[in-house]
Structure 1
Amino acid sequence: MSPDAHIVSTGTALPGEPVDNEAIARRFGTDVASAEAFIGTRQRHFAVDLNTGQVTHTLTDLGAQACAQAMARADLEPRDVDFLVLGTSSPDALVPATVNLIADRLGIDQVSTYQLQSGCAGALQALDLACRLLDEEHLIGLVVGADVCVKHLVLDRNTNSVGRTGHVLFGDGDGAGAAVLASELVPGSIAVRRVLNRFSELSRTPGQVVRWFGAADLARPEQPVEQDHKAIAQRVPLLARQAMREVLGMTGWYQASVSYLLPPQLPGRVPQHVANELGLADVTEISCVADVGNAGNALPFFQLDLLRDRILAEERAVAIAIEPSKWIKAAVTLEGM
């Protein structure tokens, strides 16, 4: 029996030209060697001009571009789309929901829209929801993952004295990815076999906090972003192993039958720790964080975009995303059709 969900096409969007580590070092006087050793990202794209501080792209801009590309590749018109799901940790505003701004930009009207606010696992959470929405009345959906870090780039200060800005500049990035999901089998599509989406680590302290401020909060001394890098480095590989084992069990696959691994896309040494923890042999890893930057919920769609060019009929893949803010493990099993 054919599965109920198929990835028909993908689309991606990046703002402007890539910004390499040397360009950041020249602009802000930061140390390239130490940043590369700690973060490991070679280049990234920003939705802001680093020289002028002017915002060049909104989340709506990038999300609409990625969706438009995915729709064009699937030969779809706006009237063909039955629902739209967005996963992001950085919407343009609390209201209106960015997913509705994207739909409006694309000319998609009279459809169900959903916006999930989540960190690294948001893309697979959105995919999970989209798979559940497919039915006899909802045959085609758009799934989007996108993030921008504009709100946390303080460009008029010395980054040596503002640690988070330096980390954002070297480690993070902006972008959007999308996929067309259909209930009917399309030649060349990727079948979604099972999706794992579980909140875990009950009572464990969050590994990451990103705060949103209102007018009454401006005088408070809280940092907008906090990360426990040690906890992330320790817990993400373990949760990735759990996610791999659980999603393979749900699908009825053996680990040895997997041809491709799309691991969690976190900067620094975490990807290598994940690979060591999983202990996979003869598996092709598909990663992009070193060249795209940590664009959050966009990255799983960039990985899917790369997978579409490689996976053959009956080949199998597993994608894993771990959310360190309140420890969510997500994974999906995929098969070439």
Structure 2
Amino acid sequence: MKFKCNKNKLHEAIANVSRAVPAKSNIAALEGIKLSLSGDQLELIGYDLAFGIRTVLNVESEDSGDLVVNARLFSETIRRMSSDELIITVDEKLNVNISGGSAEYDISAMPAIEYPDFPSIGAENSLSIPQYILRNMIEHTNHAVAVTDTKPILTGELFDLEDNIFRMVAIDGFRMAIRTEHTPISEKISFVVPSRTLNEISKLLAKGDASAEDEAGEQDPEKISKTELCQIYAGEKNITFEISGYYVVSRLLSGEFHNYKSSLPTEFKTEVIVKTREFADSIERCSLLINEKNKCPVRCIFEEGSVKTDCKTVIGKVNDVVPAEVNGEPVTIGLNNRYLLDALRACESDQIKIQMTAPNRPVKIVPVAGDSFMYLLMPIQLRN
């Protein structure tokens, strides 16, 4: 088979599908990319049996055929070619000739029959969401995903849809992150997507659609073009994300996700309104004295008119004050600096509300207006 294609478009497609190619595998074919040519359509697939990416590239050809080529070698070969247009020829012995400009490569390939079948799209449940919104939801919750597999279900994020509300939830046992968006879907749908899958698709998702901006420069969801939407198809065991010509397929995590709604505080005795950036800066100043060898919670004293923060380790000590509106009972609470910073950096509003019941109860962080995010942090016991 033989085809002609644009170098940059081919390399971009290779780089993206290679995200699903394992560096090492007991199945040699999985270390490669499957290429399937049918006329002027070249399909590229990367797959590791649990996670896969597929796309189709327009090329110039009237041939057909398929093969598997080593992902890393193929990517580097294409990247280093000097010509913008490449001609790729494959003979009967699966020798791949790549030519363009002054350079010419010959590399070996494997038969496509050795490559596992790519999963079909599961469409039992489907939804459509602007890419920039899904990207935002992932980026603002993935910090709270469990990094150990003590409870495997928590290494993913819950997609929870019910009554026209879409919540993405991450929990690691010490904190919780929830991002909320409205959706036209009213029925109850829930599934858990591996964190690795979400991290990879976030790299494919657009940050925004310039043509959909309103007069204030904000995204108007009603103006989002179809190419800037992400289509999600969820089956019983697999999920597919369709993103700008790429199909990302992943296994869903099985098991019972934590009943997060039962963990949400409904009452509080202290409510604090503080500027997000000022509070984050204060915690960052305290964090200079905290590391793996010198661990210490940040003491936060919420009292009338201010939030006082302090920290003391063998390196030194720091005291800081941030103006705040404090309503209710004064409270002193210890918090993990990194967990708190992760939450503050994910907050989208200039000001936040911090709600507390007692020094040994979860701290709740929400926007001053609306319900787009919620972060829960477990406190740390302070030493006198």
Return the TM-score normalized by structure 1. Answer: 0.21
Return the TM-score normalized by structure 2. Answer: 0.19
Larger radius of gyration: 2
- Relative contact order higher in (CA < 8 Å, ≥ 6 apart): 1
> Could you say which structure has the higher helix fraction?
1
